[in-house]
Structure 1
């Protein structure tokens, strides 16, 4: 029997299951660039992915060959609900927010932007760590409460890009970041800011806050601990006081940082971690980058022009549908022709096999008829022998002759088959002509070798001559 699971283990498993369900249900976003953009825009894409974490793909790679349809086809199985694309033209940087699968599409023009590295480099004490990106940020919208249709569409689009929060069940430890979208009605600009939330206990001096931290302060200068708390220099800080009634609240829950207990007063501080983006609305259109334009910031059309553009778009879509149907019909015709050709080829192969079998049967019948004719010849020879001689022929006299004939026939057929594949040796034309005409061939020169004699052999030959 295995050990019983403890209460903490069961609780952690339950929390993991609920977090996984929330992750699956939450809205997911793809952030990528379209076309050729510079290094700064590429870095802006990566910084925007940091804002959308963890409900985005941080390792997504968009190649030049990829089309928007590729991302839309992949988005359905992966549960992606929004696409956020960046593109660059000669005049400006554009940003598109697309709601899947049926739209709408909102196009913005990026006026200014500042990357994370630029924002963090200006901070004296940056508050950025890895665990704060494990949970989605808190969205805050400012000045989006107008009755205009395009303002409502923008507000709902931004709200649906981030997961909703239930005020009664939310845990404050999970809210570590904040995204602020501020609309300026005078300039029609939208400012995006990304902050890290820091909670500090309020109503305490600087020395007490140091004690609450993990590091123990240096008390060697003091004779008593009370001097450390009553020191006038410790009560006044060099930095201006950031806390006040505008950011001090009584916490409904206890937070993991030191000194922030439930029902105690704490101060909430926002530390900017970037990026900063300032953009302006250009147009809103139905569908996924293809549909009627609902709102345009610069171009205003009359009802007749809108009807004409709508009619032209319908004609274009109908022509596209006709071409698609024609292509489907062509594909079906090609398949039918291919099947018919396949059936004809199979019938031809079957007929060829039947003809080969018939030819084989004819050859066998011819061989049988030849054997019958040979037997008839043997019987005629035996009858002639009886009439002329008046006696019965000896047993096997004419059978041996027929066997010899068959043997010779088989040998001749075998020799023909054996020498059929061999090539005849070709004789050079010069030699062939000389043989036929009778001209004598040129004498072949034999190689002559001279053997050197030794000195003793040469002396003996001279003596013999003498």
Structure 2
């Protein structure tokens, strides 16, 4: 028989797993997307849709409970390489979306004006295109109109870009770019529009019939005697179809896996929206993790004197918190030390009480028997409760007679 499997501590097993992870996964930005506040099925669906956008470097099946706090997720962030956290917070009057840079900030708070779930976007599309394989690679991030004045625009654009892995244009495999996320800023309304698309690349200059054959789609040859009839029935074979939107035509630098898209040949790039949609407005930027100095506020504008007063107040609170924490540590150490001294004192009193009881027993034995007892007879023992005390020489314990039930006693008498 084989020996039992040796148990491995979970921390040791996880550390070995992390050491075996490739550098691309370790260095890529990971994210947690959760929702807080009032319960609402639409907010839960929106959270799941946003997790699909952040795939594959996100916790898709993350289970969250009401008892979980933000600090619980922050404590696990370094262990799972999590660099950003998105929080949908449902209040009675509005819905907000917070983007946190872990573990020290900054924190961006957005007010969500409108949102559309992914299932609603796909159901409204004329040509629905949704492929699960497209979510195996991170999306391409497109930033539009974030070059205006104001440091908050630059910080907002940098935060959105850093939520997704960077792309090296010299080494990227074009076939892995299957999705794209668009962030567009409207300076007049101060709104950020977010859209999510699936990318499709099709060859240009081919008839529809030829495109179906090249792409591997089985054509309907019910009304044709040969394949040639299917290709030539809509016009001349040599006459190539031209896509209406010529701005979408590109010359590929690589050969793609999809059929018909060859290197140095023209292809058309088409986008199919797969949702969700978000329309939000930046309200506040905080220096720390949901706390600290307010770097930007859309409604409240403070003077330099007011900002300086707030800085002093925050610094005072921070010092008071450190002092309180230090006092708590000192109190804890003092209580532990006092507890150890009390345990030692109780042990000393117990030993002294056992010794006095032994002296009393020895004196009683001397008065009754008339001779000095043995030294080990009344010697105090801490484990005396589980041991039988020794008797003087010549004296033995009497074994108790075994008791028998009625049936056993009758059989014993018959024998």
Task: Determine if the TM-score, normalized by the shorter chain, exceeds 0.5.
Answer: yes
Match of 2:24 in 1: 22
Give the CA RMSD over aligned residues.
Answer: 2.3
Contact kept in structure 2, 1:86 and 1:95, CA below 8 Å = yes
Match of 1:462 in 2: none
* Distance (whole Å) between structure 1 residues aligned to residue 226 and residue 360 of structure 2: 125
Match of 2:48 in 1: 46
Match of 1:375 in 2: none
Contact kept in structure 2, 1:206 and 1:234, CA below 8 Å = no
1:98 pairs with one of 97, 100, 110: 100
1:73 pairs with one of 61, 72, 75: 75
- Report SS of the residue matched to 2:79: helix
TM-score w.r.t. the length of structure 1 is: 0.71
* Distance (whole Å) between structure 1 residues aligned to residue 67 and residue 129 of structure 2: 39
User: Against the structure 1 CA distance between its residues 220 and 306, is the aligned structure 2 distance closer, same or farther, given a 3 Å change threshold?
Assistant: closer
1:125 pairs with one of 100, 124, 127: 127
* Distance (whole Å) between structure 2 residues aligned to residue 291 and residue 101 of structure 1: 13
Match of 1:7 in 2: none
Match of 1:112 in 2: 114
Query: How many residues align structurally?
Result: 351
* Distance (whole Å) between structure 2 residues aligned to residue 195 and residue 41 of structure 1: 21
* Distance (whole Å) between structure 2 residues aligned to residue 158 and residue 185 of structure 1: 17
User: Against the structure 1 CA distance between its residues 168 and 228, is the aligned structure 2 distance closer, same or farther, given a 3 Å change threshold?
Assistant: same
User: Against the structure 1 CA distance between its residues 19 and 176, is the aligned structure 2 distance closer, same or farther, given a 3 Å change threshold?
Assistant: farther
* Distance (whole Å) between structure 2 residues aligned to residue 277 and residue 269 of structure 1: 21
Structure 2 stretches of 5 or more lacking a match?
1-18, 373-415
Q: How far 1:89 sits from its partner (Å)?
A: 2.3
Q: How far 1:40 sits from its partner (Å)?
A: 1.2
Q: Does 1:273 align with 2:274?
A: yes
User: Against the structure 1 CA distance between its residues 234 and 190, is the aligned structure 2 distance closer, same or farther, given a 3 Å change threshold?
Assistant: farther
* Distance (whole Å) between structure 1 residues aligned to residue 221 and residue 368 of structure 2: 126
Contact kept in structure 2, 1:96 and 1:105, CA below 8 Å = yes
* Distance (whole Å) between structure 1 residues aligned to residue 321 and residue 243 of structure 2: 63
Larger Rg: 1
Q: How does 1:368-407 map to 2 (within 5 A)?
A: 369=370
Structure 1 stretches of 5 or more lacking a match?
1-16, 372-466
Q: How far 1:303 sits from its partner (Å)?
A: 1.3
User: Against the structure 1 CA distance between its residues 118 and 370, is the aligned structure 2 distance closer, same or farther, given a 3 Å change threshold?
Assistant: closer
Match of 1:409 in 2: none
Contact kept in structure 2, 1:190 and 1:278, CA below 8 Å = yes
Match of 2:208 in 1: 206
Contact kept in structure 2, 1:30 and 1:82, CA below 8 Å = yes
* Distance (whole Å) between structure 2 residues aligned to residue 346 and residue 220 of structure 1: 99
* Distance (whole Å) between structure 2 residues aligned to residue 37 and residue 123 of structure 1: 29
Q: How does 1:352-367 map to 2 (within 5 A)?
A: 352-366=353-367
User: Against the structure 1 CA distance between its residues 341 and 220, is the aligned structure 2 distance closer, same or farther, given a 3 Å change threshold?
Assistant: closer
Q: How far 1:325 sits from its partner (Å)?
A: 2.3
TM-score w.r.t. the length of structure 2 is: 0.79
State which drifts further: 351-360 or 85-94: 351-360
* Distance (whole Å) between structure 2 residues aligned to residue 109 and residue 242 of structure 1: 40
1:141-170 residue CA offsets vs partner (Å, 9 max, x unmatched): 111123421111011111110001111111
User: Against the structure 1 CA distance between its residues 61 and 221, is the aligned structure 2 distance closer, same or farther, given a 3 Å change threshold?
Assistant: closer
Pick the structure with more helix per residue: 1
Match of 1:457 in 2: none
User: Against the structure 1 CA distance between its residues 228 and 366, is the aligned structure 2 distance closer, same or farther, given a 3 Å change threshold?
Assistant: closer
Contact kept in structure 2, 1:205 and 1:234, CA below 8 Å = no
* Distance (whole Å) between structure 2 residues aligned to residue 223 and residue 365 of structure 1: 127
